Amino acid sequence: MAGGRIRAKIRRSSLYTFACYHSHPSEAEGPHDIEGPGYSRMVYCNQPHMHEQKPFRYCSNYISTTKYNVLTFLPKAIFEQFRRVANLYFLLAAVLSITPISPFSAMSMIAPLAFVVGLSMAKEALEDWRRFIQDMNVNLRRATVHKKDGTFGQKPWMKIQVGNVVKVEKDQFFPADLLLLSSSYEDGICYVETMNLDGETNLKVKRSLEATLSLDDDSTFKEFNATIKCEDPNPNLYTFVGNLEYNRKVYPLDPSQILLRDSKLRNTAYVYGVVIFTGHDSKVMQNATKSPSKRSRVEKQMDKIIYFLFTFLVFISFISSVGFIVKTKYDLPTWWYLQVPDDRGYFDPRDPLMSGFYHLVTALILYGYLIPISLYVSIEVVKVLQALFINRDLHMYDEETGTPAQARTSNLNEELGQVDTILSDKTGTLTCNQMNFLKCSIGGVAYGTSSSDVELAAVKQMALDEDRQSKAGTPPSWGKGRQGSGESEIELETVITSKDEDNHKPALKGFNFEDSRLMNGNWFKEPSADVILLFFRILSLCHTAIPEQDEVTGVFTYEAESPDEGSFLVAAREFGFEFCRRTQSSIFVRERYPSFHEPIEREFKVLNLLDFTSTRKRMSIIVRDENGQILLLCKGADSIIFDRLSSYGRTYQESTTKHLKDYGEVGLRTLALAYKKLDESEYSSWNEDFMKAKTSIGGERDLMLERLSDMIERDLILVGATAVEDKLQKGVPQCIDKLAQAGLKIWVLTGDKMETAINIGFACSLLRQGMKQICMTSNVDASAQNSKQTVKENILMQISDGSEMIKLEKDPHAAFALIIDGKTLTYALENDVKLKFLNLAVNCASVICCRVSPKQKALVTRLVKQGTGKTTLAIGDGANDVGMIQEADIGVGISGCEGMQAVMASDFAIAQFRFLERLLVVHGHWCYKRIAQMICYFFYKNIAFGLTIFYFEAFAGFSGQSVYVDWYMLLFNVVLTSLPVISLGVFEQDVDSEVCLQFPALYQQGPKNLFFDWYRIFGWMANGLYTSLIIFFLNVIIFYDQAFRPGGQTADMIAVGTVMFTCVIWAVNCQIALTMSHFTWIQHFLVWGSVVSWYLFLLIYGELRLSLNVNAFRILLEVLAPAPIYWCATLLVTVACNLPYLAHISFQRLFNPLDHHVIQEIKYYKRDIKDRYMWRRERSKARQTTKIGFTARVDAKIRQLRGRLQKKYSSHGKDVVVTQQT
C-alpha cells in the first residue's frame, strides 16, 4: 500500500521560512528535561492494554456535559428543589400536617407538594436527557483505530484509549489529543483547522518528527512500539512539553507535533497519530467547566418576596397566638360549654403558653396560603410552554441547515429580557469567514462601482429624512437653493452605481467587483496598463495558499491562511491571472496576457517568503520571473507600506491615501500593494545573511530574521490598494444595530489577531471611521519578575490615560472603542487591576478582546457579570466558547456550525447570530413581562385569599377555625385560579412581535426591571391587602345580622365562607382580565371558565355525601342561588375590589403612559396605517441613543454628507453674491 498511496508533491518547509525550517532545531537541541511534578504521564504507544491498570490507567474518551447522572440525579435534583424557600416551608408544613394540631388533613398538604416537586424534577430530568443524547452523538462518532498486526478498524470515540494509534482522514475531527506520527505529505506535515479551539479559521501547519516519517502505511504499525513521557493534563492550548523514546533514541516534542481534539484535518489526505490525552484529560475539555446551575434574577427576587411573606406569616401567626393566649387565659374559663381543658392540652387555661405554642404551629399551617405552593409549578409549566414557542418560532428557523431555535433549559426565559451586555465570539458567530473583493485603487485611479452596505443605507436614510421633512413642510436648511435643479441633490452626492447593470453577472463567492474598465481584458486599454499588470501579479503571487481543482468543473478553489487572501486569488482569477499550481520552489499562474482569450501558463520561481505576523503587518514574496528579473512583491497595512516607500515610489501616494480613507469610511478592509526590483548581487548578499539567520539556533533567531526582512523591504514602489468587504453572517450588522438600539452593550472576544478583529469590528459596525480607538498592548518581555511589574505599571498607565481621554472629551458624538490583546488581558484581569480595566471598558461604546484563550473568555465574562452586577449573555459556536457560555448568566450556542460543544454547554441554541435579535427583543421582552406580571399576580391573589382566613380567625376568637371548607382551599391554587395565570404567562403580549422589532427601546423595560421592582411588587401586595379587606368586611357587614333566606334565617359559617370564596374567585379573575393586554379565545375560555368551574364544583359538591360532614348539602341549589343577596353581594364586592386598579391604569394611560401604552393606542386607532409619518416619527424616537451599530455609522455618514452639502451651498451662495455685485 505504501507504493500506491497518494503523495502530495509540495514540501511546505521551503515556503514557511520562519516557522518550519527543515532542520528541526528542537531535535538538534536534545530531549527535554521533564523530571518532577507535573510531568508524570507515561504513554505506551500502540500498547493500549498497558493503560488498563494503575498507575497508567487514565480516564476514558467518554465525555459528558450533563448536570446529573443515574446516581446523582435524586440527591442533586431534590437539593435543587428545596433550595427554593417556598418548597422548604411546605415540606415543614407537610411534616407538621401529620400531627393532631394540623388544621388540615395530611393528604391535603403532602399531595400538592409531591406533585409540585415531582413535576419540576421530571422537567429537569427531561432537559438533562436531551444533553445526554447530544453527548452520545459525539461519543458514538466513529474513528479508524489500529487493532493488531497492521490492520485498522472502526471504533466509537468513547472506546478510544491512551496509546491507540489512530488514522484520521481529510475533513475529519481528531477524536482525542494526538501525537502526529506521519501524514500523506512526504515531509510529514498536515494542515489543521482549529476554529473550535481558538476561533481562527486560518489553517495551522503541524509537522511530525523525522524519526516517525517512515510510519506512513497501515502495515508499518505491526511492530511499532514507543514510549512518551510528557506533561500532565492541563488547559493550555498553546504549550506542550514531552519526549518520545523510539528505536532507543529520545526525541523532544513540542506543540507543533500535537493534534488537539475537536480540531479538524484539512488539505491532507490522512494522518497517523497516537493518543496522548483522552476525554476530560484533553486540552479542549480541560478548558471546559462543569455545567452550572443557573437561576434567573427574577427567581432570586421571588425568593426574597417569599422570605418577606414568610416573615409576615410568622408575624401574623405570632399575633394570632398572642390573641389565643389572652383568650385562653381570660375568656376560655367562662365558656363552660367548650369543656376546657381538653384531654390533649391544646386548650388549657392553666397553661396558656403551651396552648399558645400549639396554636402557633396551627396558625403557621393555616395561614400557609399566603405563600402560593402552586407558584413554582405554574412557573415551570409556563416556562416549558414559552420554551416550546421559542422552539417553534419559524422566524428563528434556518432553512439552509434545517435547524430550529432550541431552548435547552427553560429556567432562564425571563432572563432573556433583562440582558445588559452581550459577549460574543467572532469566528463562526459574527463572520462566515468570507471576504468579497469590492473595490481597488491602481496607479492612483479608483476602480469598482459596487456600493457597500453602508453607502447604500446612508443614501436611503437621507432620502427618507428628506421625504419626512418635505411632508412636514419644513425643507432642510442644507437643501435651500436647489429648486430648479433637475434632480435630487442626494442623488448627485451619492456613490456611483454600476453602469453595467444590463450585463450584471451572479456574484461569485469572494468577488463582488463591478467595473467594465478592468473586466474582460479591457484593462489593456487603460493608460497605466503596466501598473495594473503588476497589481494583478501581486494578487496572484503574494500568498501562501494551496490551489484545489474541482475534477468536474475544472475551476480552482483556494485554501488560504486568511479569507482576504482567498478573495485576492479569486479576484486575480477573474481579472485573468489564475493561480493554478504550486511546487516546493515555484508558483504557476495562467495569465490572460497579452491576449485575454489565450491564457499562457507562466512559472515564477519562489526564492523567499516573508510571512505576515501581527508585529510586521505585512507579507512579502521574492520571486524570479521568466525573464530572470528578481522581484519583491509586498502587501500590508497602508501605514506600514507607506513608511517603506522610496522617494520615487510615492507617485500615487496622495490619491491612494484619499481612496483608502473613502474605503475605510464605508467599512471596507484595505491593504496597500507595492513592489521592488532587486539586483542579482543585492539579492545574493542579502540571501546569504538570511539563510545564516534562518539556520541558526537560539533566542536571537527571530530577531535576526525580522531585522533582515525589514532591510530588504525598503525603497518600495507603490502600486495600489485593495478594498474587500468582510462577509459577515447573514443579518449580523442589522442584528447588532437593533440590539444597540435596544440599549445592549456588545463585547467581542476572539482568538484572532488584533488586525482581523478590528476589521471585523468595522464590518459589523462595532467600530466606525472617526471612532477613537484605545488599543492596549504589552510589548515588554515579562519573563523576569521585575519585568512583570513593569508591564503591569505600563498597563495601569494605559488604563489611566484612556479613562482621562474619555473624561475630557467634549464632543457629544464622540465614541471610544477599547481593543486589548490576550497578553495584556492577563494582567488586566489581576485583582488589583481588573476593576480599573472594567471601569474603562464600560465607558467605551464597544470592546474587542483579541488573542484571548478560552479561559480568558470565561474570566472576562465573570468580571463583567460580577463587576457590573447586570445580566450578561455569551454567544459562541466552538469548544473555545464553552467556558464563557457557562460563566455568563445566559449562554447561547450557534448550532448551525460544525462543532457542537458550544451548543451542548448552552442554555439556548440558535442557527445564526441574527436570530439573537428576535430571541432577545421579542421572546426575551415577552417572557420577562409575562413572568413578572404572573408572579406579582400570584402573590396578589394569595394575599387576597390568605388574609381573609386571618381576619376570620381573629373574628372567631383566634380559635384556629377556617371559614372555608378544606376542599375549597385545596382547589383554590390547583384548579380554580391556576389556568388563568398560566394563560397570562404564556399568551400575554403588550405589543406584537413586529412592533417589538420596530420599537427596540421597549426592551429596556427588562434591564430597568420596570415590572418587577419593589415598588410594583409592594403595589400588588397592597392591592391584595385591599381586596382581602373588602371581601371579608363587606361580606361580614352584609351577612352579619341580615336575613338570608325566605324563612328569615341568617347565614351560617359555611354560607358566609362560600359567599366570600365566590367573591374571591370573581375578584381575582376579573383582576387578571384587567391585567391582560392581549386576549385570545384561549384566555377568555380559561379566565371565565375558571369562574364557571367554581359554580360547577359547588353544584357537584353539594350533591355528594362529603358535603353532609360540613353542613354544605346542596349549598348552591338550595342555600345560595335562591338568595338575591348572594348575587348582589358578589357583584358589589367584585366591583369594589377592582375599581381602584381600574382607576389606576386609566389615570396612568391618560397622564403618565409607558411606551407600550402609547403604541397600543396608536395600533388600536390604526394610526400606524392612517398616519405613516407619525408612525415613523414614533419609531425613530423608540431607540436608545447608541454610538455603535449600522444606524450610528449611517448617522455619522449623514453628518458628513450634510457637512459637504452645507459647504457646497455656502460657497454657491457666495458666488451668487459676487455675481450680483459685479
Q: 836, exposed or middle or buried, with CB in 10 Å at 0-12, 13-18, 19+? A: middle
The three-state DSSP-derived secondary structure of 807-834 is HHCCCCCCCEEEEEEHHHHHHHCCCCCH
Task: Give the Cα separation of 441 and 512 in Å (integer).
Answer: 15
Which residues, 6 or more positions from 1217, have their beta carbon under 8 angstroms from its beta carbon? none
Q: How far apart are the first and last CA of the chain?
A: 96
Is 721 in contact with 671 (CB distance < 8 Å)? yes
Q: Which helix (H) or strand (E) holds 205?
A: strand 204-207
- Count of other CB atoms within 10 angstroms of residue 490: 18
SS3 of the chain: helix, strand, coil, percent, to 5: 50, 15, 35
- Count of other CB atoms within 10 angstroms of residue 1123: 18
Q: b/e per residue, 237-248, with b = 16+ CB within 10 A?
A: beebbbbbebee
Q: Which residue has the cell 405554642?
A: 357
Q: Which residue has the cell 391585567?
A: 1075
Is 182 in contact with 213 (CB distance < 8 Å)? yes
Is 1112 in contact with 1017 (CB distance < 8 Å)? no
Task: Give the Cα separation of 393 and 916 in Å (integer).
Answer: 13
Question: Between 297-326 and 85-96, two packed helices, what is the crossing angle to 10 degrees?
Answer: 30
Task: Give the Cα separation of 543 and 29 in Å (integer).
Answer: 32
Q: Which helix (H) or strand (E) holds 439?
A: strand 431-442
Q: What is the DSSP string of 39-62?
A: --EEEEET-GGGGGSTTS----S-
Task: Give the Cα separation of 1105 and 1118 in Å (integer).
Answer: 16
Which residues, 6 or more positions from 89, have their beta carbon under 8 angstroms from its beta carbon? 306, 310, 368, 371
Which residues, 6 or more positions from 411, have their beta carbon under 8 angstroms from its beta carbon? 294, 295, 296, 299, 383, 907
* Amino acid found at 8: A
C-alpha pair distances (Å), 680 with each of 624, 627, 632, 660, 717: 10, 13, 12, 34, 18
Sheet of strand 189-193: strand arrangement: 204-207, 189-193, 264-266
Query: What DSSP designation does 196 have?
Result: H
- Count of other CB atoms within 10 angstroms of residue 768: 27
The radius of gyration of the chain's CA atoms, rounded to the nearest angstrom, is 38
Query: What DSSP designation does 593 have?
Result: -
Residues designated catalytic: 425
Task: Give the Cα separation of 919 and 1184 in Å (integer).
Answer: 19
Task: Give the Cα separation of 203 and 193 in Å (integer).
Answer: 5
Is 396 in contact with 404 (CB distance < 8 Å)? yes
C-alpha cell, 744: 445592549
Task: Give the Cα separation of 567 and 456 in Å (integer).
Answer: 22
Sheet of strand 226-230: strand arrangement: 41-45, 226-230, 242-246, 249-253
Q: Does 594 sit behind a cis peptide bond, omega within 30 degrees of 0 on the bond before it?
A: yes
